[in-house]
């Protein structure tokens, strides 16, 4: 780790690009000098602005807070001091989309004070990286600001351009959830939206993503249009039942507010800005953490072939689970998820949330026996904990449940929070819930348990500090293709997810449904509103590479993989990566990604398209020059089409090297998956 003067690192480029700050302004530039943040006070109000190559991206944007019981912290401010430092460090992720991450930034800490009583003080800390900027508020302990209640954060993001944004709404009528389809439109029309919020300037030259990092003990941030038809977005904190967003005591720090920047859409991912702004790993050892593929007693319930509840169709029986364990062992999968194993599912499980036991199994499920059988076959059970949002019930049982799983040698859980109400009227994303989700991660870490969260908070980079926080849902996943009233996820969905939801972090999308048409009785001409998978088979394979998750499911029923040559790709594809390159993309249209497996020489490529057929030209220049490789190509077959003919798949093999250019043909709603391994 190296700390030295930021001015040294800012370099000549910064000096050339950014006009000198005016008196009263303080400024910090990214190490490459292209991005600069200017902080200033105008008529007592503190603002920051952001420019890239001298061009404004964010106009002066207000900073401050509204409190309950004390005046807002916004007016009558002055800058009393500023300090700088720089940081240049490479660190290694225990697992991830990339192994090595460069934390290279210039920091500016601005001390601010109210000119009149109560003369409250805070520090505004900025970090400028080449790929974006983060800032946070820090409140030292001080008289007049001990315990406080924030009702609104006044942080603004005043966009200079009426950029195009891809968004999902955040208003509470939607159950505070993220399981929605994205729409795109100008920033000026946004009302209340979730982050990460991905935007493209009208000239197509800059991409911006507003999000947050290191959300530990605060309210989750959404964004709201702060005026009609203008381009200013304001932080919109999720509230507790009494209208307070955050209760705290000084000393106190907010999460980082982040603005990721890229010139090309292909540079947005993999996104490491938020990881760099989280504290380093707190676990003494990460040896027990292992990315893996898994199968599970899961899709059967979603398509109505099995039930979570007891009865003749109960999925989680000892016998059925052993069948899944055998299947996992025979095909090299590391885990078997079992949902509906524990008591509490009978009746309305969403309403009866306090009935869930996290230790007591249904009589037809012998947990110790199944765990022992799995272990003997070299597979682990992934224990399901659906809470239906009953967090008190869950927290009461956390210690005993995790101790039980640990004693049985089980090292992974999948949690769930299906509900439209949290007791006390708190938002699903309020500080109460932020604390809860964190408590679960920490308790799980103590017992050596990896965590996969459904109906989660958005990812703010927790995995850096707690690498047992593996993956989460937090978006419309494959499950919607089983039962959604609108027919399922449209072909463009995953091409948007890649640049929105997955910018925040890994997603448990659960790819790999092979039985695409499902309703065989109606043949190929399905009613458009019928729920079904809206991709070709080859696209289901490509999703393993495109939609990153360190716990990656083969989601279909084992019988649907039998005698399917395409299943070989699901068995072969890696889940942990040294390197990731986005080869080509347009948000909402298509994306092609190449990733090299962790600690190996094999590459995997996934390319997907929306409802349009496309041909991509993919140079394999990332391969090692002079080395010979074999490509195994899983392509859409003749006349493949997501709607009418999704199943044809052509599997071919050919020698390739770093000079090869592949013509990647994608059918409507199609995809292509490629494994490239060194020639024997």
Partner that binds at residue 200, options ligand NOJ, Ca ion, none, CB closer than 5 to 8 Å by kind: none
Q: Please identify, among the stretches 8-16, 121-129, 240-248, 447-455, the one whose residues bind Ca ion according to the rule CB under 5 A.
A: 447-455
Site string for ligand NOJ, 340-379 (x = CB under 6 A): ----------------------------------------
How many residues appear in the chain? 680
Cβ distance 551 to 542 under 8 Å? no
386 binds ligand NOJ (CB under 6 A): yes
Smallest separation (angstroms) from ligand NOJ to the CB of 418: 5
Strands of 447-497, DSSP E: 450-453, 469-472
Distance of CA 596 to the CA centre of its chain: 20
d(CA 200, CA 527): 35
Smallest separation (angstroms) from ligand NOJ to the CB of 298: 6
Partner that binds at residue 214, options Ca ion, ligand NOJ, none, CB closer than 5 to 8 Å by kind: none
Q: Select the residue whose beta carbon is closest to Ca ion and give its number.
A: 454
Query: What is the footprint of Ca ion within residues 453-472 (CB under 5 A)?
Result: 454
d(CA 195, CA 215): 13
Distances (CA, A) of 335 to 324, 413, 414, 555: 10, 11, 12, 12
Distance of CA 71 to the CA centre of its chain: 36
Nearer to Ca ion, 412 or 574 (CB): 412
Cβ distance 530 to 615 under 8 Å? no
- Asked if 462 is an active-site residue, the reply is no
d(CA 73, CA 92): 39
Provide the edge-to-edge strand list for the sheet that holds 221-225.
Answer: 25-29, 35-42, 45-52, 55-62, 156-159, 232-237, 221-225, 192-193
418 binds ligand NOJ (CB under 6 A): yes
**Residue 7's closest CA among 31, 26, 23?**
31
Grouping H, G, I as helix, E, B as strand and the rest as coil, residue 259 is: strand
- Applying CB under 6 A, which of residues 114, 156, 339, 459 lies at the interface with ligand NOJ? 339
Site string for ligand NOJ, 439-478 (x = CB under 6 A): ---------------x------------------x-----
492 binds ligand NOJ (CB under 6 A): no
Nearer to ligand NOJ, 555 or 618 (CB): 555
Query: What is the footprint of ligand NOJ within residues 284-323 (CB under 6 A)?
Result: 298
Q: Which of 479, 492, 494, 597 is catalytic?
A: 479
109 binds ligand NOJ (CB under 6 A): no
- Applying CB under 6 A, which of residues 344, 416, 448, 588 lies at the interface with ligand NOJ? 416
Cβ distance 37 to 132 under 8 Å? no
Nearer to ligand NOJ, 318 or 478 (CB): 478
Q: Please identify, among the stretches 145-153, 448-456, 613-621, 657-665, the one whose residues bind Ca ion according to the rule CB under 5 A.
A: 448-456
Nearer to Ca ion, 497 or 635 (CB): 497
Nearer to ligand NOJ, 132 or 416 (CB): 416
d(CA 123, CA 131): 23
Cβ distance 579 to 98 under 8 Å? yes
d(CA 335, CA 337): 7
* Catalytic (active-site) positions: 479
Binding positions for Ca ion, rule: CB under 5 A = 454
Binding positions for ligand NOJ, rule: CB under 6 A = 298, 339, 386, 416, 418, 454, 473, 479
């Amino acid at each position: 780790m190296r700390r030295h003067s930021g001015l040294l690192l800012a370099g000549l480029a910064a000096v050339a690009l950014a006009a000198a700050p005016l008196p009263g302004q303080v400024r910090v530039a990214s190490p490459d000098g292209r991005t600069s943040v200017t902080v200033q006070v105008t008529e007592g109000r503190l603002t920051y602005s952001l420019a890239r190559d001298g061009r404004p991206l964010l106009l002066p944007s207000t900073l401050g807070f509204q409190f309950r019981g004390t005046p807002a912290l916004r007016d009558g401010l002055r800058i009393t001091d500023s300090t700088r430092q720089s940081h240049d460090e490479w660190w290694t992720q225990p697992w991830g989309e990339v192994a090595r991450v460069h934390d290279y930034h210039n920091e500016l800490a601005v001390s601010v004070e109210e000119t009149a009583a109560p003369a409250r003080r805070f520090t505004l800390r900025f970090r400028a990286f080449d790929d974006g900027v983060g800032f946070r508020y820090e409140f030292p302990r001080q008289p007049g600001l001990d315990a406080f209640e924030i009702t609104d954060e006044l942080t603004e993001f005043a966009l200079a351009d009426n950029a195009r944004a891809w968004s999902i709404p955040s208003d509470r009528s939607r159950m505070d959830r993220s399981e929605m389809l994205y729409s795109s439109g100008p920033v000026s029309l946004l009302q209340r939206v979730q982050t990460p919020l991905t935007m493209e300037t009208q000239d197509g030259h800059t991409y911006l993503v507003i999000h947050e990092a290191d959300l530990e003990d605060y309210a989750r941030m959404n964004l709201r249009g702060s005026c009609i038809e203008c381009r200013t977005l304001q932080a919109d904190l999720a509230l507790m039942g009494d209208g307070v967003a955050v209760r705290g005591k000084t000393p106190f720090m907010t999460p980082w507010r982040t603005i990721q920047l890229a010139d090309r859409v292909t540079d947005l991912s993999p996104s490491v800005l938020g990881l760099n702004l989280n504290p380093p790993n707190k676990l003494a050892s990460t040896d027990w953490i292992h990315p893996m593929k898994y199968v599970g007693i899961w899709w059967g319930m979603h398509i109505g072939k099995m039930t979570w509840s007891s009865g003749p169709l109960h999925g989680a029986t000892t016998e059925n689970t052993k069948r899944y364990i055998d299947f996992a062992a025979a095909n090299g999968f590391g885990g078997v998820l079992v949902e509906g194993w524990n008591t509490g599912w009978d009746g309305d499980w969403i309403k009866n949330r306090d009935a869930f036991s996290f230790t007591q199994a249904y009589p037809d499920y012998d947990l110790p026996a199944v765990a022992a059988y799995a272990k003997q076959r070299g597979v682990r059970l992934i224990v399901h904990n659906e809470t239906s949002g009953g967090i008190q019930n869950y927290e009461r049982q956390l210690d005993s449940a995790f101790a039980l799983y640990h004693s049985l040698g089980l090292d992974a859980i999948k949690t769930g929070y299906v509900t439209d109400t949290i007791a006390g009227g708190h938002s699903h994303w309020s500080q109460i819930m932020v604390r809860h989700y964190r408590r679960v991660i920490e308790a799980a870490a103590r017992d050596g348990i990896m965590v996969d969260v459904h109906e989660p908070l958005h990812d703010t980079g927790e995995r850096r500090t707690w690498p047992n926080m593996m993956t989460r849902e937090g978006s419309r996943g494959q499950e919607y293709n089983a039962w959604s009233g609108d027919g399922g996820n449209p072909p463009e969905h995953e091409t948007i997810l890649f640049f929105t939801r997955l910018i925040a972090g890994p997603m448990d999308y659960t790819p790999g449904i092979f039985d695409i048409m499902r309703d065989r009785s109606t043949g190929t001409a399905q009613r458009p509103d019928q729920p079904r998978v809206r991709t070709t088979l080859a696209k289901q394979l490509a999703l393993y590479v495109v939609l990153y998750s360190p716990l990656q499911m083969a989601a279909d029923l084992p019988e649907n993989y039998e005698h399917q040559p395409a299943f070989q790709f699901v068995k072969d594809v890696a889940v942990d990566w040294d390197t990731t390159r986005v080869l080509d993309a347009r948000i909402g249209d298509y994306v092609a990604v190449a990733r090299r497996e962790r600690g190996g020489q094999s590459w995997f490529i996934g390319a997907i398209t929306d409802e349009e057929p496309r041909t991509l030209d993919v140079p394999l220049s990332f391969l090692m020059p002079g080395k010979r490789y074999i490509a195994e190509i899983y392509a859409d077959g003749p006349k493949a089409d997501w709607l009418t003919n999704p199943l044809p798949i052509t599997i071919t093999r050919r020698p390739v090297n770093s000079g090869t250019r592949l013509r990647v043909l994608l059918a409507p709603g199609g995809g292509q998956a490629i494994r490239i391994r060194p020639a024997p």
